[in-house]
Amino acid sequence: MNNLTLLVFLPLVGALLVAATPKAAVSAQRAITLVTMLATMVLGLSVCLDFDGASAAAQHVIERPWFSLPGASGSVPIAFKLGLDGISVLMVALTALLGPIVVLSTWGHIHERVKEFMVWLLVMQTGMLGVFLSLDLVLFYVFWEVSLVPLYFILGIWGGDRRLYATIKFFLYTLSGSLVMMIAVIALLYQLGTADIPTLIERVSSLPHGTQVWMFGAFALAFCIKVPVMPFHTWLPDAHTEAPTSGSVILAGVLLKMGTYGLLRFCIQMFPGISLEAAPWMMGLGAAGIVYGAWLASAQNDIKRLVACSSVSHLGYVVLGLFALTQAGLRGSVLQMVNHGISTGLLFLLVGMIYERRHTRALDQYGGIASVMPVYAVFFVVTVLSSVGLPGLNGFVGEYLILLGSFQASPWIAAVSVTGVIFGAVYLLMATRKFLWGPVTHKANEGLADLGAREVGLMVPLVVLCFWIGFAPNTFLDRTDGSIDALVKRIDAARAVRTAALAPVEAPLVATEGETR
Amino acid sequence: MNLTDQTWLWAIPALPLAGSALCGILHYLTIKARMPKRAHGAHGHDDHGHDAHGHGHAAHADHAASDHGAGDHAHGGDHGHGHAKVEPGLSAFAPWIAVLAMAGAFALAIKGFLGLQGETHALESPAWDWIDTGTFRIDLAIVLDRLSSVMTLVITGVGTLIHIYAAGYMKGDKHYAKFFAYLNLFVFAMLMLVLSSNLLGLFVGWEGVGLCSYFLIGFWYEKGWPAEAGQKAFVMNRIGDASFLIGSFLLVKLFGTLDLSDIVAGVSGLLGDPEKKYELLLAGLFLFGGACGKSAQLPLFTWLPDAMAGPTPVSALIHAATMVTAGIYLTVRLNPVYAASPDLLFFIGAVGAVTALIAGSTALVQRDIKRVLAYSTVSQLGYMFLGLGTGAWAAAIFHLVTHAFFKALLFLGAGSVIHGMHEEQDMHKMGGLKKHMPATYFTFLAGAAALSGLPLLSGYFSKDEILAHTFAHGGAYRILWGIGIATAAMTAFYTWRMVALTFFGKERFDPHHVHPHESPSVMTVPLMVLAVLSVFGGLLGLPPVLGSTHALEHWLEPVTAAGNALLAEHGTHALDHGTEWMLLGLGAVIALVFMGLGIRAYVGGTARDEKVASSAPGLARFLQGAWGIDAAYTAYVVRPMQLLFFVVAIVIDQFTIDGMVNGAGAVARTCGDRVRRMTSGNIATYGLWMGAAAALIAFLFLKRIG
């Protein structure tokens, strides 16, 4: 049963089923979507459990020839190739897990055009799983684009008042990134004559240095926009603010991870040498994002915008850790991608739940919510603490590993990034205070109903994960062992080559290599 | 050393954790039972804001009637029972659970202590495999050694007394069970802090106590300002924590592990390499930065006075006896790291002395009884760091222990006074309470005598030991000694000013409205036990000159040996008996003289304060505001940062970055307008254009790189 093709296309089948229902059969549409997402979750988690973390090789591989494209030396075969490795395994698990949670969350806020919404949710699930599982570059690109379209509609149809602006901004940003990436994809295929990602990883080093720099740059730009890395981030707060809760949860939980995943898979794994050269810049951008995002968040009164800005800060940690190119940094980043999906996903869920009751996102419209909704307050505080990186919860493990790894690579950049620990506490606790504590100052807040069973139920798995990752992160880290060890070996080899190349004795070799350009 | 399986050690922190969980459940059940019968159907799948309105008034009425905490005490002559409409319900069981958990942990601490006799220097539990960093593993084990056993006994022993007291003090509060859930959780975190085998495990406790402190300072969050004080405490602690993290990275770089015993054992091997020695100094400095946050030292002490917004048992347990001593514990735990650098030691001593002076002088003019004690705590913690700065590890721990006794006593005594005075904290509105509250009065006297260093009481020996060590170091340390002596004089003065204003003289409150009463025995019995400890606690560390061995110093030797060996390389500082007697005598004279002055100035009432305020208003304001440091932070750090946040959000993000994006969009739209005239409006044509453009770009790109 652990078939990746089935996993990827199961949601699409569900989408077709939903599409076949009559428009008014809202309950049926919801039920089909939920069941499909649950089945996908079970299948996804079982695939991830049936995975040997000690091995670096892709597992559960499925490969079927698809079509071919012309290349520099004969035709390039394109395959339908899926596989799971230590870099994708946690992302697949996270995507699969968030699926049913997102569907359940729509009960509260999607009341119009339910059928379409459910179809888009399911299509997006297929797209996202495909992105993480593709081992063929063209297939990856196809899934990448497929996953963009549903969010475009979700934002544009079910979004807030400024949804048009936000949608166009989101689309233009991501599209420009995608186009740049497409060029790099075409160039890569054309030059190397294969679209098979593991083969590409082996062959890329044969390209001239200058070509590699350009390709790295194209991929990096596309992924940095997606993450988003400061200064390409301004689409994100707008998109999050306007998106419906479920859209925000998927966007923060999974879609942004496509960017960090891409950085890891295509920039670092494919171009370890160039990554070493780019590392100080990328780490710098990561650190800048941590601090800048936190400052930005500190100035917000719109709580959803605040959470969106906090994403910029938290994903800054991920980029920082990735380009530290150390064991601790990489492991921390892979874990932090999951952590961010959980804690930011929870934050958006919580913000959505209060929005459904009060129809405002302005912090100054709240205050004293803890007195009115004690259960809600408990979930909110736990989530904030997870986001702040309190030891014992998930955020700490990721942050600590990232900061430790980046300290090993660059103490100064790490020292700047550590201030994020302070600023993170500033904006999250400030928001908590304005939101939860103090007297109930607005009449409209006095009668708010506390969380219901559905709302508690859909958050419980995520809260359990917060504690689980906090206390036993090795359950998750172990699955990435093999792949990250192999990756670090590649990076070390590239570093050795680079050190040798930089040594004066080897200088002529560099010159001849440069000549070939 | 430990051949047997010591799994039971995990039970020491686990007991309060379990207690916390149970109290949490009780709290949930209590508030659930108290909720007006809301239609549960409202929670169904259509829970929109509008249907919640119907229940609004019922919920609010409940909220207003049960306006809790301070309010309850203020009106009920019978502390809480009389006025409070809150039925304790199931939460009445909470203190029993919490106290039992504490007593159990205390019993286990004694078991551990008894197991550490003779050649056994440490007991270690099996480890929990926590984080695999890829290059080294971070394991958590519980290690009970000589130092952590002292800390554990204090935490669980004093903690149990404070829990019992709190059962009386918090009675009638509508969040009674929640209070004990937090308090037990705090003890769990504090025990993790002192029992962890690993620096990162210690950090779990370190941040955990900070979190509980945040919750407990803001316990009466509905009032607003306690929540702000909690936030301030958390953020200032986080500044220290960031420093702590950098220190830990440096330790990983130097030792390749965060295991505390490996670090301690590895220090001497590094000192041959000047670069590593320098990095070790930096690591020590950054970790000390963390200690400054947690232990409220310059420049990070301003959160502690504000932390008094929490209920008084919290102030006693967290902000006097245990959490704030974490920085001292950390420094002693890593003593060879500090011993390796005399400069760093002097720096720590200087920070401690200056903090002691600033806080001690601030305590002279406070009117709020809890703020006097808060500044006094900062000041006494400064003494402990002064002791550490001389390498007198055992002396610092000695003062930590005696301070835990007498300061917990004083806080609880102050709580009893506040309780009896219906939530009055201003000493100017007290006076003459000794006849109303005899038990509180006598126990408070014992605490005050110990704090002010009256001869033969616990504080006398522990403070004088620190000062003697400082004196013995000579050189620049003599300046620190001078500061220490001056602070000792202030300590005696403000302590007895507090006693005089509170208990002596005439009543300055309206007897028709305020009826001071003694607290129930659940509160006074813990006071009596602490009073006995405050009086006799000095026996733990009688100076050798009195013909006794310093029991605590001897006990801690296995822990401090590594640091002491390094210190010995820089020469030893011993005092001859004559000097030692002289210093002991000087300490006694100063304490007695300034006690007399303090009582004489304030036994007649508040006139002296008014005189100071009118004759030297500048000085009074300066001292009142702790030398203007907090105000300076607000003016030069907090405000500019807030400005920065808005500049970043509006000017940089919205106008500059987003402005460029929107500008580019506008340009594109204009171009698009022109281009539109060339196109047919046919989607296929657009696609063609797009494909062609992409192909062109790809072609140019390939040409360039190929």
**A513: confidence class by pLDDT, cuts 50, 70, 90:** very low
**B516: confidence class by pLDDT, cuts 50, 70, 90:** confident
Is there a single domain that holds both residue B561 and residue B644? no
Report whether A64 contacts A79 (CB < 8 A): yes
Q: Is residue B181 part of a domain?
A: no
Query: CB-side exposure of B176: number of CA atoms within 13 Å?
Result: 28
Q: Is residue A212 part of a domain?
A: no
Across the interface, do B38 and A179 touch by the CB < 8 Å criterion? no
- Of A243-247, A270-274, B213-217, B673-677, the poorest mean pLDDT is in B673-677
Is there a single domain that holds both residue B517 and residue B415? yes
Shortest distance between the Cα of A454 and any Cα of chain B, in A, equals 7
| pLDDT tens column, A155-195 | 888 988 888 888 888 888 888 888 899 999 998 988 888 89
Percent of chain A with pLDDT over 90: 66
Pairing of strands B128-132, B137-140: antiparallel
**B124: confidence class by pLDDT, cuts 50, 70, 90:** confident
pLDDT at residue B681, rounded to an integer: 55
What is the domain extent for residue A456? 278-497
Across the interface, do A430 and B59 touch by the CB < 8 Å criterion? no
CA–CA distance, A365 with A360 (Å, rounded to integer):
7
**What mean pLDDT comes out for the span B512-540?**
88
Closest partner CB to B131 (pick from A107, A397, A451): A397
Percent of chain A with pLDDT over 70: 97
Report whether B147 contacts B556 (CB < 8 A): yes
pLDDT at residue B544, rounded to an integer: 75
**A283: confidence class by pLDDT, cuts 50, 70, 90:** very high
CA–CA distance, B337 with B322 (Å, rounded to integer):
23
CA–CA distance, B48 with B54 (Å, rounded to integer):
12
**pLDDT at position B633 over 50:** yes
pLDDT at residue A442, rounded to an integer: 84
Q: How far apart are the first and last CA of chain B?
A: 68
Report whether B132 contacts B258 (CB < 8 A): no
Q: Is residue A178 part of a domain?
A: no
Q: ω before B274 within 30° of 0 (cis)?
A: no
> Is this prediction's pTM over 0.80?
yes
Place of tokens 């569900």: A14
Q: Is residue B5 part of a domain?
A: no
Domain boundary among B627, B659, B682: B627
CA–CA distance, B614 with B684 (Å, rounded to integer):
88
Domain boundary among B611, B627, B643: B627
Percent of chain B with pLDDT over 90: 46
pLDDT at residue B686, rounded to an integer: 61
**What mean pLDDT comes out for the span B564-585?**
84
Is there a single domain that holds both residue B425 and residue B539? yes
Is there a single domain that holds both residue B621 and residue B694? no
pLDDT at residue B674, rounded to an integer: 66
For A68, phi then psi, to 5°, come to: -140, 155
**B62: confidence class by pLDDT, cuts 50, 70, 90:** very low
What residues pair up with A79 in beta bridges, in sequence order? Answer: A65
pLDDT at residue B679, rounded to an integer: 54
**pLDDT at position B104 over 90:** yes
Q: List Cβ neighbours of B304 (8 Å cut-off, separation of 6 or more).
A: B233, B296, B319, B324, B374, B377, B378
3-class state of residue B76 by DSSP: coil
Q: Is residue A431 part of a domain?
A: yes
**What mean pLDDT comes out for the span B310-320?**
90
Q: ω before B299 within 30° of 0 (cis)?
A: yes
User: Does the CB of A296 have a partner CB in chain B at under 8 Å?
Assistant: yes
pLDDT at residue B215, rounded to an integer: 93
**Cα–Cα distances in Å, from A211 out to A181, A303, B391, B706?**
14, 44, 61, 8
Q: Is residue A319 part of a domain?
A: yes
What is the domain extent for residue B529? 390-627
Prediction ipTM score: 0.92
Is there a single domain that holds both residue B616 and residue B648? no
Is there a single domain that holds both residue B582 and residue B636? no
Report whether B448 contacts B496 (CB < 8 A): yes
Q: Is residue B473 part of a domain?
A: yes
Q: Is residue B383 part of a domain?
A: no
Residue of B nearest to A300 (CA): B649
User: Does the CB of B135 have a partner CB in chain A at under 8 Å?
Assistant: yes
Q: Which of A290, A413, A429 to mutate to test the interface with B (most CBs of B within 10 A)?
A: A429
Q: Is residue B250 part of a domain?
A: no
Query: CB-side exposure of A261: number of CA atoms within 13 Å?
Result: 28
CA–CA distance, B393 with A443 (Å, rounded to integer):
57
Is there a single domain that holds both residue B475 and residue B595? yes
| pLDDT tens column, B385-444 | 999 999 999 999 999 999 999 999 999 999 999 988 888 888 888 888 888 889 999 999
Considering only residues B222 and B182, tell me which one the structure prediction assigns the higher pLDDT: B182
Residue of B nearest to A447 (CA): B56
Name every chain A residue with its beta carbon within 8 A of the beta carbon of B294: none
The mean pLDDT of chain B is 84
| pLDDT tens column, A293-321 | 999 999 888 999 999 999 999 999 999 99
| pLDDT tens column, B328-351 | 999 999 999 999 999 999 999 999
Nearest Cα to Cα of residue B234 among B147, B300, B163, B180: B300
CA–CA distance, B545 with B317 (Å, rounded to integer):
33
Q: Is the dihedral of CA B624, B627, B628, B630 positive or negative?
A: negative
Q: List Cβ neighbours of A280 (8 Å cut-off, separation of 6 or more).
A: A410, A413
Q: Which of B245, B282, B633, B641 to mutate to test the interface with A (most CBs of A within 10 A)?
A: B245
Name every chain B residue with its beta carbon within 8 A of the beta carbon of A235: 661
**pLDDT at position B356 over 70:** yes
CA–CA distance, A153 with A130 (Å, rounded to integer):
19
Across the interface, do B222 and A438 touch by the CB < 8 Å criterion? yes
Q: Is residue B489 part of a domain?
A: yes
Considering only residues A313 and B224, tell me which one the structure prediction assigns the higher pLDDT: A313
Q: Is residue A285 part of a domain?
A: yes
Residue type, position B505, single letter: G
What residues pair up with A78 in beta bridges, in sequence order? Answer: A67
Name every chain B residue with its beta carbon within 8 A of the beta carbon of A392: 204, 208
Q: Is residue A492 part of a domain?
A: yes
Name every chain B residue with its beta carbon within 8 A of the beta carbon of A328: 133-135
Q: Is residue B379 part of a domain?
A: no
Domain boundary among B627, B647, B673: B627
The mean pLDDT of chain A is 90
**pLDDT at position A514 over 60:** no
**A439: confidence class by pLDDT, cuts 50, 70, 90:** confident
Residue A358: CB atoms within 10 A of its CB come to 18
Is there a single domain that holds both residue B481 and residue B524? yes
Is there a single domain that holds both residue B658 and residue B544? no
If one counts the domains in chain A, the total is 1
**pLDDT at position A285 over 70:** yes
- Of A111-120, A168-177, B672-681, the poorest mean pLDDT is in B672-681
Across the interface, do B200 and A391 touch by the CB < 8 Å criterion? yes
Is there a single domain that holds both residue B656 and residue B533? no
If one counts the domains in chain B, the total is 2
pLDDT at residue B685, rounded to an integer: 62
CA–CA distance, B476 with B386 (Å, rounded to integer):
13
**pLDDT at position A98 over 50:** yes
Closest partner CB to B648 (pick from A295, A429, A471): A295
CA–CA distance, B179 with B215 (Å, rounded to integer):
9
CA–CA distance, A113 with A99 (Å, rounded to integer):
19
The secondary structure element, H or E, covering residue A507 is helix A507-515
**pLDDT at position B67 over 50:** no
Name every chain B residue with its beta carbon within 8 A of the beta carbon of A372: 59, 63
Q: Is residue A377 part of a domain?
A: yes
Is there a single domain that holds both residue B645 and residue B568? no
3-class state of residue B426 by DSSP: strand
B contact residues 636-655, partner A, Cβ 8 Å cutoff: 641-642, 644-646, 648-650, 653
Is there a single domain that holds both residue B529 and residue B563? yes
**pLDDT at position B56 over 90:** no
**pLDDT at position B63 over 70:** no
